[in-house]
Amino acid sequence: MQEPQCCRVLVTRRAGTTPKPATIGNPRLPIGDTAVEWRELECFLTLAEELHFGRTAERLYTSRARVSQNIQAFERRIGARLFERTSRKVTLTAIGRRLSLELESHHRAIVEAIEDAREAAQGRGKPLRAGFSGPWCAELLNLAGDGLAAEYPDTFVDVREIHLSDPLGPLRAREVEVQLTEFPVSEPDLRTSAPLIVQERFLAVSTRHRFAERAEITLEDLAGEEMIVFGDLMPDYQREHFFPHRTPQGRPIRHSHSVRYWQDAMSLVAAGRGVCLAGGDARRYYFRPDITYLPISGAPPIRYGLVWRPDTENPRLMAFIAAVEHAAALS
């Protein structure tokens, strides 16, 4: 994959569109007698967060080889190793850890300033970026955005989809300021609201599945089924809550396919290649004539709430959180 000659600043887009790299004119940042390539800086900070070359390449829309080349070039400019690499893992050195902490906030400020300038050039106000995991959550965020406009008329709410395969990554990467997502979320660096949406749990199966004609099932019926799950970056406690490995009586539930997108999961379900747990609103938003949704008797409901980073709290964000809570109480 060929890199552009100018430096790249990743600017996220609205849900449903393809992210594209924005560019700035000067590919080098003069620091003392060293000119640092911006793309090297981005590779360093992203790898420092991910500690995985593959995920870093995916986030920067480049190849693993190019990430490795940029990291090596950056280390030569610094004059020290910033990462320890083995066949099993990547870790920061002491110098790399200190450098990432000192650079991260400055890099974020540059990226946000560029994106805000782009929005202003298009005649729009300052965005408040809010993530959602399901379209029913997006509806609530949009309602809250309408309510926020009265208090902050120069703000618009930029609503973006957050995939269950990496439910907290974009929040930690500061791609969104707050998100409405599935609970539980129990992370020491994040704050949460009370649950705002509660949905009955269903099982999506093919209309050809042996359960398709039943009125309901139980969690014990999942023993021996092929369960479709989402990604590898979901915290273990969340994964077990949403996609258990065992029934309440201890019988195994096989996890067969790991996907990133709901549409991929539904395609596998329709093809009879597995079953998938879902909230009740999935029946409305992901209706298909070849899929049946069965209520699961005795299963705990799926709860949704707000999650945000304490270090980004400000009057505007807290006003939006209050607006979401108010909209949820009315809906």
Residues 88, 147, single domain; the answer is no
Residues 322, 277, single domain; the answer is no
Whether residue 35 has pLDDT greater than 70: no
Top-confidence range, 26-35, 102-111, 216-225:
216-225
Confidence (pLDDT) at 21: 42
Q: Domain containing 134: what range?
A: 126-182+308-330
The 10s digit of each residue's pLDDT in 83-136 is: 999 888 899 999 999 998 888 878 877 877 787 777 667 666 788 999 999 899
The residue assigned the tokens 């950056």 is: 74
Residue 233's domain is classified under what CATH number?
3.40.190.10
Residues 12, 64, single domain; the answer is yes
Examine residue 40 and state whether it is found in any structural domain, yes or no.
yes
Residues 103, 14, single domain; the answer is yes
Total domains in the chain come to 3
In a 10 Å sphere around its CB, with 0-12 CB exposed, 13-18 middle and 19+ buried, how is residue 284 labelled?
Answer: exposed
Residues 324, 256, single domain; the answer is no
Examine residue 76 and state whether it is found in any structural domain, yes or no.
yes
Confidence (pLDDT) at 6: 34
Examine residue 191 and state whether it is found in any structural domain, yes or no.
no
Examine residue 248 and state whether it is found in any structural domain, yes or no.
yes
Residues 277, 322, single domain; the answer is no
Examine residue 224 and state whether it is found in any structural domain, yes or no.
yes
Picking from 82, 106, 121, the residue at the C-terminal end of a domain is 121
Examine residue 287 and state whether it is found in any structural domain, yes or no.
yes
Q: Would you place residue 219 in the very low, low, confident or very high pLDDT band (cuts 50, 70, 90)?
A: very high
Residues 133, 158, single domain; the answer is yes
Q: Which of 278, 325, 324 is nearest to 302 (CA)?
A: 278
Q: Provide the 8-state DSSP code for 74.
A: H
Picking from 102, 121, 140, the residue at the C-terminal end of a domain is 121
Whether residue 278 has pLDDT greater than 90: yes
Residues 23, 91, single domain; the answer is yes
The 10s digit of each residue's pLDDT in 182-202 is: 999 999 999 999 999 999 999
Examine residue 147 and state whether it is found in any structural domain, yes or no.
yes
Q: Provide the 8-state DSSP code for 288.
A: -
Residues 169, 312, single domain; the answer is yes
Pairing label, strands 178-182, 302-308: antiparallel
* C-beta of residue 180 within 8 angstroms of C-beta of residue 133: yes
Residues 236, 216, single domain; the answer is yes
Confidence (pLDDT) at 26: 41
Structure tokens at 60: 């920067």
Examine residue 2 and state whether it is found in any structural domain, yes or no.
no
The 10s digit of each residue's pLDDT in 63-72 is: 999 999 999 9
Residue 112's domain is classified under what CATH number?
1.10.10.10
The 10s digit of each residue's pLDDT in 319-328 is: 999 999 999 9
Question: Is this structure's pTM higher than 0.85?
Answer: no
Residues 26, 93, single domain; the answer is yes
